[in-house]
Structure 1
Amino acid sequence: MRNPRNDPLGSPNTGTGDTPAPGGSERRCVLTGRTSARDDLLRLAISPDGDDGTADVLPDALAKAPGRGAWIGVSRQDLESAITDGKLKGALARAFKSGRLAIPDDLPALMQAALEKAVLQRLGLEMRSGMLILGSDRIAHEARMGGVAALYHAADACEDGCRKLDQAYRVGMDAEGSGLTGTRLPLDREALSVALGRENVVHLALSDPRSATRVAIPLGRLQTFVGAERPAGNRREVAAATARHDENL
C-alpha cells in the first residue's frame, strides 16, 4: 500500500470527532523516511501565503489543520539539528512543493508548547466528562478494584508515591509481576494543577479505557518529541482492560 508523504486530513482512515480511528493510518516522516502510524507522528502545516507569497510553517499538534501537512517523527533535538543544517527546509520544500516557506527560529519551542497544550486540554476534557480520578487515596482504591485504565505521575512526583500507586495498579489490572507502571508524564505538577484547576496534582488516573486511548495519542506525540521513555507494557495492558470492559457491557 502506498503511503503518501503529505495527505489532506479527512481521509477515510482518519478518525472523526474525539474518537480515533482503530489503528490509525500510516504516514512517512519527511526527515527520516521512516513510516509510522499517524498517531505516533507530529504534523506540520503551513499558513496561507502572505503578501510576498511566503507561507509560515506552523505546528499542528492535533493534526486537524486544513490543507496538506508534513509529518515528522523525531525528537526536539533532532528537529533543532535539522533546522540548523537546512535539512528541514529542504524536506518541507519537497513535501509542500514550494520553496517559499518561512520556518520560525523557535519552531521547536512552539511545537513543544503546542504538544503540551494538547495533552493538558485532553486531560481537562476527560475531567469534565467525569473520567479523571485525582487524589492518591482515591486513585489507590480505584486501582486495586480494577477501576483504573491508565495511571499517570507528574514529572516531579516522588518515587515512593509512584511505587505505591503502581503496585495498586498492577493488582487491579491482574498484572502483578509484569513490571507494569504508571506513565511518568513530561509535565510537572504545576502545569497539571494549572490546567486542571486543582491544587497539587501529582498523580492522576483515567477510569475508562477509551479515555486512556484518547489521551494516549497526544501524549505519545509529546513523548516522542521530548524523548521521554514510554513503558513498553502499558499499551498492551490498556488494550487488555478495554477488552475486559467490552466483555462486561
Structure 2
Amino acid sequence: MRIEATEIGETKGQPATDTLRRCAVTRVQRPKDDLIRFVLGPDGTVVPDLKEKLPGRGVWLTAAHETVAQAVKRKVFSRALKAEAKASEGLADQVGALLTETALQALGIANKAGNVVFGHTKVEQALGAGSGKGHVVALIHASDAADDGCRKLDGKARATTEGRGFPTVRAFSADELSLASGRPNVIHAALIPGGAARKFLAAASRVERYRMGPSAFADRYGLDTD
C-alpha cells in the first residue's frame, strides 16, 4: 500500500524546507509526515505528540518502531531535550498502539460518511461491471483473512484497472475492523472516494510504515527513501 502525501508542503516535487525535520536517532532529514514529535510531560515523562500541538521543546524521530526503541535504549530524549527525560521501555509499543487507534477511528468516520462497503460480495459488486474505476480507491483485507479470498478480490481489482490494482490495507485484524466499523466479522471491505477515505488511507499507511520501518516499507513497495 502506498498513499501519496498531498499536504506536506511539496513544491515542484520537492518538500518545502519548513516541513522537514531531522531525526534525533538517524540524523536524516525527512518530511514531517514521516516523523513523530515527542515532548516532555509535566512530570518529565516523554510523551508522543502525534498531532504536533503540545507545547514545549520537541524532539523528532523517524516514525518507525525500531527508531523509537533505539531512542529509548540510547537515552536520546534527555540529550535532545536537554533535560532529564523519563522514557518508558514500552514507548515504541505505546506509539504503535496510538497510531493504530487513530487509523481505526478514521475508518469508523469513513464508514459513517458512507465511504466504505463491507463484505466479499459487496466488494466484488463495487469492482464489477467497470464500476471499480472511479468508485473504489482501495481494498481492505483483515490481516487474518484467508489468502484465497484476498487473491480473488485483488485479481478482480487488477482486471478492473488494467493491471494496476488498488492500494490494499492489511494492517488490522478482523476483530479490529469489526470493532471500528460496528459490524460483525469484517474480513473484506472497499473504500469509496471521499475525504474520510483519504484520511483513513493516510493513517493506515503510517501504521504500516511504523511497524515495518521505512527501509522495509520502501523495499516492499518499490519506493525511494531519499
Residue 59 of structure 2 aligns to which amino acid in structure 1? Answer: A
Q: Kindly report structure 1 stretches of 4+ aligned residues shifted beyond 6 Å.
A: none
Q: How many angstroms apart in 2 are the aligned matches of 1:93 and 1:129?
A: 43
Residue 232 of structure 1 aligns to which amino acid in structure 2? Answer: Y
Q: Deviations over 1:36-90 (max 9, x none)?
A: 2222222323213x3xxxx211223344434443221153234324422x2xx23
- Of residues 134, 147, 156, the one that matches 2:118 is 134
Shift of 1:181: 5.2
Q: State whether residues 26 and 38 of structure 1, in contact with CA within 8 Å, keep that contact through their aligned partners in structure 2.
A: yes
Equivalent residue number for residue 162 of structure 1: 150
Say if 2:24 is the partner of 1:43. no
> Aligned pair in 2 of structure 1 residues 83, 187: CA closer, same or farther (>3 Å)?
same
Q: Deviations over 1:70-125 (max 9, x none)?
A: 221153234324422x2xx23x23433x2221111221121111111011011111
Q: How many angstroms apart in 1 are the aligned matches of 2:205 and 2:97?
A: 15
Equivalent residue number for residue 78 of structure 2: 93
Structure 2 alignment gaps of length 5 or more: 1-5
- Of residues 183, 188, 200, the one that matches 2:168 is 183
Q: How many angstroms apart in 2 are the aligned matches of 1:21 and 1:43?
A: 15
| TM-score normalised according to structure 1 size | 0.71
Q: CA RMSD in A?
A: 2.8
| TM-score normalised according to structure 2 size | 0.77
| Percent of residue pairs identical | 30
Equivalent residue number for residue 148 of structure 1: 136
The 5 Å alignment of 1:94-133 reads 94-96=79-81, 98-133=82-117
Q: State whether residues 42 and 221 of structure 1, in contact with CA within 8 Å, keep that contact through their aligned partners in structure 2.
A: no
Q: How many angstroms apart in 2 are the aligned matches of 1:216 and 1:43?
A: 21
SS of residue matched to 2:111: helix
